[in-house]
Amino acid sequence: MTIDQHTTVGIIGSGAMGAGIAQVAAMAGHNVVVYDNNAAALSKAQSMLAATLQKLEEKGKIASAADILGRFRFAEHLTAFEECGLVIEAIVERLDVKKAVFAEAEKVVSSTCILATNTSSLSVTSIAAACSIPSRVMGLHFFNPAPLMALVEVIPAIQTDAALIPIATTLMQAWGKTPVTAKDTPGFIVNRVARPFYGEAIRIYEEGIADIATIDWAMTEIGGFKMGPFALTDYIGHDVNYVVTETVFQSFFYDPRYKPSFSQKRLLEAGWLGRKTGRGFYDYAATAAAPTPNKDVELGKMMVDRIVAMLINEAVDALHLGVANMEDLETAMTKGVNYPKGLLAWCNDEGTGKWLGILDNLYQQYHEDRYRASVLLRKQAMKNKNFV
């Protein structure tokens, strides 16, 4: 199985992610076939792509929008995928639907066509199991918006032919992306390691330690993150962020480290999905007054340390369990969610002992498994060693 610029790429699902990935592939020189089972979604993607490419041409970022648009075919049937050498699926996040679509696609494509899923939180292995040649199935997890976000997680299922990893990695580099390899475990790298950024912040808020504006202020001004957890989840949408949290929690056999919160679940139930509905943790009405943070630096530092300790613990544990290597873990968190620095570098900067101390204090206080330190963090701290 080889892929080069002459390979036709098929995209299943023309929503936010499918359209974005299709744009990336066409801009890298591929002919692209886009299929969606909803004709309105397909035509919306078509006009959106035309408008986006036109804007890029006006800004001088591409030579000719028409040339790139000429590489697209929009299809209402999977049969159009016959000549594809790579198919990337970006449909609704439901295992039963994805399995059915993979089984359908396999009936059309050649035996050498690679089949990839853009799933955020489902098992790639179980999607591969729906295929008669599971060795050609893998995960290619892009981030939103796909044309702008550099990171792509390359995820081999347990059935995937190992030769596909370097093929996919080279292809993603040719598309101008930064690929990392992740084990097929819930949330892969980013959606696993980032969970405490939201979960621990919400916990601090629920316990009344600080209000949302104060926690967001601390995480941006003291922690150096681009957005605070509450502003960010409002931006992502609670329908998306809560569902990923819940799926990761269930997929980890209900490990309390990933436990969702009632505060966020209630927002979802109320339809307060964030910016897109005008209300989430914050009220976005024009008349609403922005809450004022309490700029108590000592309190702020305590909260940042607590959340960052939990994030570092996730990164160290992912390393310990072979989810990814050190370099890929650092790349994933800086390029996938724009953290100010890699979590292992952050751990090193202030020393493994400090972070273990914070976690052990929390564990002592709460007696909750949620705060258990990774055995690798403990081992390194006991030897006074960093991650190098």
Ligand X SMILES: NC(=O)c1ccc[n+]([C@@H]2O[C@H](COP(=O)([O-])OP(=O)(O)OC[C@H]3O[C@@H](n4cnc5c(N)ncnc54)[C@H](O)[C@@H]3O)[C@@H](O)[C@H]2O)c1
- Residue 79 touching ligand X (CB under 6 A): no
Minimal CB distance to ligand X: which residue? Answer: 15
Question: Which of the following is catalytic: 118, 191, 313, 374?
Answer: 191
Residue 352 structure tokens: 């493994």
How many Cα neighbours within 13 Å face the side chain of 258? 23
Residue of 57, 83, 93, 255 that binds ligand X (CB under 6 A): 93
Residues 6+ apart with CB under 8 A from 83: 8
- Residue 64 touching ligand X (CB under 6 A): no
Residue with tokens 């993603």: 172
Question: Which of the following is catalytic: 153, 200, 314, 330?
Answer: 153
Instruction: Between 91 and 231, name the residue whose CB sits nearer to ligand X.
Output: 91
- CB 34 → ligand X: shortest distance, Å? 10
Question: What length does the chain have?
Answer: 388
- Residue 36 touching ligand X (CB under 6 A): yes
- Residue 38 touching ligand X (CB under 6 A): yes
- Residue 227 touching ligand X (CB under 6 A): no
Asked if 121 and 93 count as a contact pair (C-beta separation under 8 A), the reply is: yes
**E strand spans, the chain:** 8-12, 32-35, 72-75, 84-89, 114-117, 137-142, 151-156, 178-181
- How far apart, in whole angstroms, are the C-alpha atoms of residue 359 and residue 351? 13
Task: Provide Rg for the chain, Cα atoms.
Answer: 22
- Residue 103 touching ligand X (CB under 6 A): no
Residue with tokens 């699926």: 89
Which range binds ligand X by CB under 6 A, 16-24, 54-62, 175-183, 310-318? 16-24
Question: Which of the following is catalytic: 14, 118, 141, 200?
Answer: 141
Instruction: Between 105 and 114, name the residue whose CB sits nearer to ligand X.
Output: 105
Does residue 120 carry a catalytic annotation?
yes
- Residue 108 touching ligand X (CB under 6 A): no
- Residue 386 touching ligand X (CB under 6 A): no
- CB 347 → ligand X: shortest distance, Å? 27
Residue 151, SS3 per DSSP: strand
Instruction: Between 66 and 92, name the residue whose CB sits nearer to ligand X.
Output: 92
Q: State the CB neighbour count (10 A cutoff) for residue 82.
A: 13
Identity of the amino acid at 3: I
15 closest CA partner among 32, 40, 33: 40
Structure-derived torsion over alpha carbons of residues 376, 382, 386, 388, reported in degrees to the nearest 10 = -60
- CB 325 → ligand X: shortest distance, Å? 22
Residue of 9, 22, 91, 194 that binds ligand X (CB under 6 A): 91
- CB 192 → ligand X: shortest distance, Å? 14
Taking CB under 6 A as the rule, which mask of x and - marks residues 122-161 in contact with ligand X?
A: --------------------xxx-----------------
Longest CA span, the chain: 63
- Catalytic residue numbers, as ranges: 120, 141, 153, 191
Residues that bind ligand X (CB under 6 A): 12-18, 36-38, 41, 90-93, 97, 101, 118-120, 142-144, 240
